[in-house]
Structure 1
């Protein structure tokens, strides 16, 4: 009986190894979302630039857009921002922003200094829409089709490689299907 007890640490180590090995090689930025294939959550939020202008979830029922979740407190958002500006300017990508758990004045200053790639920026200071989307943090980027359905989610920085390999092909296909 005492000899069997000696094998418990070995069995625990092997079990832990199997669990860790199962996670190796998985793309951390490709987190599944319960919303894929479902409509955007219902919301009513103010515009970042104009607090009197309110938007509802039907704002996503017009065209295929990228929804980019960002905040001035997010260092990775600063890294991806020039790529978002380039996508909006050079590729003509409609990008909506969700300013997440942020300060309005800081966010407005950020856009003034770094450029504004967004056609529309929703202000979500309490993070309610972010919570409903299942946002882990920022940046996160979603593709929303012209019917307001969430089609793709990326956690992390948007860069040119991601644009060419993941985002652009999906957006092109959704536009063709519309």
Structure 2
């Protein structure tokens, strides 16, 4: 029996390995729950990217829902997501707010000039301090914030057509049902 012990240990390890592969392939790795869902968005005051003498605050954005999209010129996945945001922004029914994260202003401007600017509002967070308050892991991330400034949805990673159809648009429709 003691000669079979290594064999059974090997089978147990194979089983654990197989379970790990199944678990990772069957669960959305971007679905990290946010403790901020259904809580007020953090207060912020960030400079506009194109006019740093002007500041965008949370209070400035209250009154209608918006999608806050965290992006950067150095972010490869942001480049994957960006054409989709450009195409979908006019049809979403919410304001698209750009949040440039830990990016040199000249790099962000050049990137937007090259790829297009779908954002109605565009602010910059070069030091990344406000991103900490939002719980940003990395770019891209997006937050759907209602008219009262409450976070209703968070996406970590790039949007895909499927995610926009199955998650974002229903979340936006739910906001419209809540509106008075």
TM superposition score normalised by structure 2: 0.85
Contact 1:60-1:145 at 8 Å conserved across structures: no
- Point out the more displaced range, 90-99 or 134-143: 90-99
Contact 1:60-1:144 at 8 Å conserved across structures: no
Contact 1:60-1:147 at 8 Å conserved across structures: no
Query: What's the offset of the Cα at 1:133?
Result: 1.0
For each residue in 1:132-174, what CA deviation from the matched residue of structure 2 results, as whole angstroms up to 9, or x when unmatched? 1111111111111111001111111112221111101110110
Structure 2 partner of 1:25: 26
d(CA) in 1 for partners of 2:16 and 2:90? 51
The SS at the match of 1:109 is: helix
Contact 1:48-1:121 at 8 Å conserved across structures: yes
Contact 1:85-1:117 at 8 Å conserved across structures: yes
The SS at the match of 2:26 is: coil
Structure 2 partner of 1:96: 97
Structure 2 partner of 1:38: 39
Structure 2 partner of 1:85: 86
d(CA) in 2 for partners of 1:76 and 1:16? 29
Contact 2:64-2:146 at 8 Å conserved across structures: yes
Task: Give unmatched runs, 5+ long, in structure 2.
Answer: none
The SS at the match of 1:80 is: helix
| Change beyond 3 A, Cα 1:24–1:89 | closer
Structure 1 partner of 2:164: 163
TM superposition score normalised by structure 1: 0.86
d(CA) in 1 for partners of 2:21 and 2:161? 31
Task: Give unmatched runs, 5+ long, in structure 1.
Answer: none
Paired residues, number = 177
Structure 2 partner of 1:138: 139
Query: What's the offset of the Cα at 1:23?
Result: 4.9
Structure 2 partner of 1:109: 110
Structure 1 partner of 2:119: 118
Query: What's the offset of the Cα at 1:21?
Result: 5.9
Query: What's the offset of the Cα at 1:40?
Result: 0.8
